[in-house]
Structure 1
Amino acid sequence: MLKHWPPLNALRGFEAAARLGSFHKAAEELHLTQSAISQQIRSLESFLEQPLFFRNGRSVALTDAGFDLLSTTQSLLQQLAVGIRRLDQYRKPNQLVVNTTPAFARHWLVPHLADFHRRHPQVDLWLLTTDETPDMATQTIDIAVRDDLSAQAECSLRVLLEDRLYPACHPGLLELPANARTTLHGEREMDWSHWQVQGGADIGQQSQGLNFSDPGLLLDAASQGLGIALVSQLLAGRARDQALLVPLTEQTVRGPNWSWLVHRDSEGDPLTRSFCTWLVEALEKQAVRQMIPA
Structure 2
Amino acid sequence: MLKHWPSLTALRGFEAAARLGSFHRAAQELHLSQSAISQQIRGLETSLEQPLFFRQGRSVTLTDAGIDLLETTQAMLRSLASGVRRLDQYRKPNQLIVNTSPAFARHWLVPRLADFRRQHPQADLWLLTSENAPDMGTQTLDIAVRNDLEAQAHCTHRVLLHDRLYPACHPSLLDVPVAQRPTLHGEREMDWSQWQVQGGVDVGQRSDGLNFSEPGQLLDAACQGLGIALVSELLATAARAQGLLQPLDDARVRGPRWSWLLHDDSARDPLVISFCEWLLGALPATPSR
8 A contact 2:162–2:256 mirrored in 1: yes
What are the Cα deviations for residues 11-65 of structure 1, in whole angstroms up to 9, with x where unaligned? xxxxxxxxxxxxxxxxxxxxxxxxxxxxxxxxxxxxxxxxxxxxxxxxxxxxxxx
Q: 2:270 matched to which residue of 1?
A: 270
Structure 1, unmatched stretches of 5+, are 6-86, 289-294
Q: 1: distance between equivalents of 2:188 and 2:145? A: 17
- Look up the match of 1:247: 247
Match of 2:204 in 1: 204
Equivalent residue letter for 2:170: H
Partner of 2:173: 173
- Shift of residue 90, structure 1, vs aligned partner: 5.9
Question: Quick one: distance in 2 between partners of 1:100 and 1:238?
Answer: 18
Letter in 2 for 1:274: S
Q: How many residues align?
A: 205
Larger Rg: 1
Q: Structure 1 residue 104: deviation in Å?
A: 0.2
Equivalent residues in 2 for 1:6-21 (5 A)?
A: none
Residue 220, structure 1, aligned to residue 220, structure 2? yes
2:3 alignment partner in structure 1? 3
TM-score using structure 1 length: 0.67
Structure 2: runs of 5+ lacking an equivalent? 6-86
Deviation at 1:3, TM superposition (A): 3.2
Q: Counterpart in 1 of 2:154?
A: 154
Query: Structure 1 CA distance, aligned partners of 2:178 and 2:92?
Result: 54
The 1:133–1:90 alpha-carbon spacing in structure 2 relative to 1, beyond 3 Å, is farther
Task: Tell me the equivalent position of 2:58.
Answer: none
Identity %, equivalent residues: 72
Q: Alignment partner of 2:222: what SS?
A: helix
Residue equivalent to 2:184: 184
After TM superposition, give the deviation of residue 197 of structure 1 in Å: 0.3
Please give the per-residue CA displacement for 1:170-196, whole angstroms capped at 9, x wherever unaligned: 000000111100000000111100110
> Could you say what secondary structure the match of 2:283 adopts?
helix
CA drift of 1:161 comes to 1.1
| CA–CA separation in structure 2 for the residues paired with 1:228 and 1:123 | 39
Match of 2:94 in 1: 94
Query: What pairs up with 1:273-288 in 2 under 5 angstroms?
Result: 273-284=273-284
1:123 match: 123
Distance across 2 between alignment mates of 1:279 and 1:246: 27
Q: What secondary structure does 2:284 align onto?
A: helix
Residue 89 of structure 1 deviates from its aligned partner by 11
Native 8 Å contact 2:169 2:247 kept in 1: yes
Question: In structure 2, what residue type is equivalent to 1:232?
Answer: S
Within 1, Cα distance between the matches of 2:210 and 2:102?
20
The verdict on how the C-alpha distance between 1:154 and 1:196 changes in structure 2, with shifts beyond 3 A counting, is same
